[in-house]
Amino acid sequence: MAQPTAIVLLSGGLDSATVLALAQEQGYACRTLAVGYGQRHAVELVAAARVSGALGALEHRVMHVDLAGIGGSALTDARIAVPELASPGIPVTYVPARNTLMLSLALGWAEVSGARDIFIGVNAVDYSGYPDCRPEFIAAFQRLANLATKAGVEGVHFRIHTPLINWSKARIISEGTRLGVNYAQTVSCYQATADLAACGRCDSCRLRREGFLAAQIQDPTRYA
Amino acid sequence: MAQPTAIVLLSGGLDSATVLALAQEQGYACRTLAVGYGQRHAVELVAAARVSGALGALEHRVMHVDLAGIGGSALTDARIAVPELASPGIPVTYVPARNTLMLSLALGWAEVSGARDIFIGVNAVDYSGYPDCRPEFIAAFQRLANLATKAGVEGVHFRIHTPLINWSKARIISEGTRLGVNYAQTVSCYQATADLAACGRCDSCRLRREGFLAAQIQDPTRYA
């Protein structure tokens, strides 16, 4: 039997790099997809390509969609500041419809390339309160995927895999380290510099640093 | 009470122009969204802007997403010919995940602009067999929309309106004509020329011509 293929959404961050290694461990040959959506931290696209190559994906693509044209998020609108302290509720770094769009692009590529499995590194534990990281959102998208597509109508059953959804950051880092992920290649910071140095102060930097501490693994992150 | 606003997806074709007029008749002030997705018939974006202006929408935006990067459709891949005869099953003009992506963009803009109503001109009668034009797809997307968004979590209920879903092409044309839609401004052809003249031979041209005949309304379409 031919090796099954999967589409893995790759952001350039720590979580999705781990997801790629986990999908490969499960036996999938992976095509990786990074999405440029007008994010202020577009250097993450550089990191995504690097991670894909280092882990030996079949193919890496970057697709672009203009979410900056919608606005409404600190990640796509330079006029909204990235917060340095976690705040209650859904934060200003929430990007309207982002995961719906990314999964839609992955679904289109899955259908055309003959993959029926899509991996995404959402996390419901320390996920900062994004609604489109919740299990009920993922279940609804999987249902939609099977109604939206020609492949679905013809009997293919698409599956959305979220291996990290209930994992702590420490567990993610431990598992990825076991699988040989080089986290020095990843960037989590919402406002990393052009050469991928992290600010060390934003919410995302804080979660990453605490993860390495809790996992008792040396943090390879370069701070600006 | 302030007039409610809606997002109306506008393709430049006959159906979505009619949807805009119907949404306005229902009392909505409309923001119109055209999506460039690498379609070979990109002149439809010109038609969409024209229709939006003529019908007095609040605002018109064009967003771009790179579906040509996915391929697999006669509408985005110049190597796949547009068929001139209807064929059984789902046709090669099906674009993987297109309506999912377009609705996602509309949802993002709706959330940011404070609209809770989205209109799309899908049609399940003479819709050529696209899976993402079926009522069950629309219902699944509406469910997803309310799980995917910050607004949904906070109690807003998004609604996806598909006023044409069970209408014949003749009824669409009759209603649009009653509401003053100028169909000479619209383009339905999958391979229209740069100055918006239609081929008269593709599936979409055929459905349009038959609709005007059945409605007993003079067809203003300019053929190449």
B9-52 pLDDT, tens digit each: 999 999 999 999 999 999 999 999 999 887 767 788 999 999 99
Q: What is the structure's pLDDT at A161?
A: 98
Alpha helices in chain B (DSSP H): 14-25, 43-54, 98-113, 135-148, 150-153, 169-178, 203-215
Interface test with B, best of A92, A100, A103, A133 (most B CBs within 10 A): A100
**In this complex, do B105 and A140 lie within 8 Å of one another by their Cβ atoms?**
no
Check pLDDT > 60 for residue A133: yes
Q: How confident is the model at residue A140 (pLDDT cuts 50, 70, 90)?
A: very high
Residues of chain A contacting residue B140, judged by C-beta atoms under 8 Å apart: 140, 143-144, 147-148
Alpha helices in chain A (DSSP H): 14-25, 43-54, 98-113, 135-148, 150-153, 169-178, 203-215
Residue A224 domain flag: no
Q: CA–CA separation, A115 vs A159, rounded Å?
A: 10
pLDDT in tens, A57-70: 999 999 888 777 77
Q: What is the structure's pLDDT at A26?
A: 98
Neighbours of B109 (CB within 10 A): 24
Task: Give Cα A119 to chain centroid, integer Å.
Answer: 9
Interface test with A, best of B9, B60, B80, B153 (most A CBs within 10 A): B153
Contact A72, A36 (CB under 8 A): no
Find the mean pLDDT for residues A82-86.
58
Check pLDDT > 70 for residue B80: no
pLDDT in tens, A159-194: 999 999 999 999 999 999 999 999 999 998 888 888
Strand B159-161 relative to strand B29-36: parallel, antiparallel, unpaired? unpaired
Q: CA–CA separation, B199 vs B224, rounded Å?
A: 6
In sequence order, what are the residues at sequence separation of 6 or more whose Cβ sits closer than 8 angstroms to the Cβ of residue A87?
Answer: none
| Least Cα separation, residue A223 to chain B (angstroms) | 31
Residues of chain B contacting residue A95, judged by C-beta atoms under 8 Å apart: 108
Residues of chain A contacting residue B39, judged by C-beta atoms under 8 Å apart: none
Residue B115 domain flag: yes
Residues in chain B: 224
Q: Which of A98-102, A176-180, B123-127 has the lowest mean pLDDT?
A: B123-127
Q: What is the structure's pLDDT at A86?
A: 55
Most confident of B92-106, B163-177, B186-200: B163-177
Residue B177 domain flag: yes
Contact A94, A70 (CB under 8 A): no
Q: How confident is the model at residue A34 (pLDDT cuts 50, 70, 90)?
A: very high
Check pLDDT > 60 for residue A104: yes
Residue A171 domain flag: yes
| Least Cα separation, residue B219 to chain A (angstroms) | 33
| Total structural domains within chain A | 1
Residues of chain A contacting residue B90, judged by C-beta atoms under 8 Å apart: 150, 153
- What chain B residue is nearest to A144 in terms of C-alpha separation? B140
Residues of chain B contacting residue A135, judged by C-beta atoms under 8 Å apart: none
Check pLDDT > 70 for residue B128: no
Q: CA–CA separation, B158 vs A154, rounded Å?
A: 30
**In this complex, do A140 and B147 lie within 8 Å of one another by their Cβ atoms?**
yes
Q: What is the structure's pLDDT at B119?
A: 98
Residue A183 domain flag: yes
Find the mean pLDDT for residues A151-155.
82
Q: Quick one: which of A10, A39, A6, A40 has its CA closest to A23?
A: A6
pLDDT in tens, B172-199: 999 999 999 999 999 988 888 888 899 9
Strand partners, B159: B117
Check pLDDT > 80 for residue B155: yes
Q: CA–CA separation, A221 vs A183, rounded Å?
A: 8
The more confident residue out of B211 and A194 is B211
Q: How confident is the model at residue B77 (pLDDT cuts 50, 70, 90)?
A: low
Q: Quick one: which of A99, A112, A102 has its CA closest to A149?
A: A112
Q: What is the structure's pLDDT at A191?
A: 83
Q: How confident is the model at residue A214 (pLDDT cuts 50, 70, 90)?
A: very high
End-to-end CA distance of chain A: 48
Q: Which residues of A touch B (CB under 8 A)?
A: 61, 63-67, 69-72, 90, 94-101, 104-105, 107-109, 111-112, 131-132, 134, 136-137, 140-141, 143-144, 147-150, 152-153
Residues of chain A contacting residue B72, judged by C-beta atoms under 8 Å apart: 108, 111-112
The more confident residue out of B95 and A53 is A53
Residues of chain B contacting residue A105, judged by C-beta atoms under 8 Å apart: 65, 70, 97, 101
- What chain A residue is nearest to B37 in terms of C-alpha separation? A65
Residues of chain B contacting residue A104, judged by C-beta atoms under 8 Å apart: 97, 100-101, 104
Q: What is the structure's pLDDT at A158?
A: 94
pLDDT in tens, A3-28: 999 999 999 999 999 999 999 999 99
Q: Which residues of B touch A (CB under 8 A)?
A: 61, 63-67, 69-72, 90, 94-101, 104-105, 107-109, 111-112, 131-132, 134, 136-137, 140-141, 143-144, 147-150, 152-153
Q: Could you give the C-alpha distances from A150 to A78, B128, B143, B162, in angstroms and in order?
A: 39, 12, 21, 21
Instruction: Supply φ then ψ for residue B222, to 5 degrees.
Output: -95, 125
Percent of chain A at pLDDT > 90 equals 59
Burial class (CB in 10 A: 0-12, 13-18, 19+), B217: middle
Q: What is the CATH number of the domain that holds B76?
A: 3.40.50.620
Burial call A15-26: b when 16+ CB within 10 Å, e when fewer: bbbbbbbbbbee
| Least Cα separation, residue A127 to chain B (angstroms) | 14
Triad A114, A116, A121: Cα angle to 5°: 125
Residue B18 domain flag: yes
Residue B220 domain flag: no
Q: What is the structure's pLDDT at A150?
A: 83
Q: CA–CA separation, B163 vs B72, rounded Å?
A: 29
Residue A223 domain flag: no
Q: For residue B15, what are the domain limits?
A: 5-215
Q: What is the structure's pLDDT at B180?
A: 96
Check pLDDT > 80 for residue B91: no
- The secondary structure element, H or E, covering residue A161 is strand A159-161
Place of tokens 């492949």: A151
Find the mean pLDDT for residues A125-153.
84
Evaluate whether ipTM surpasses 0.90.
no
Check pLDDT > 70 for residue A88: no
Any idea of the CA torsion for B85, B88, B91, B97, to the nearest 10 degrees? 160
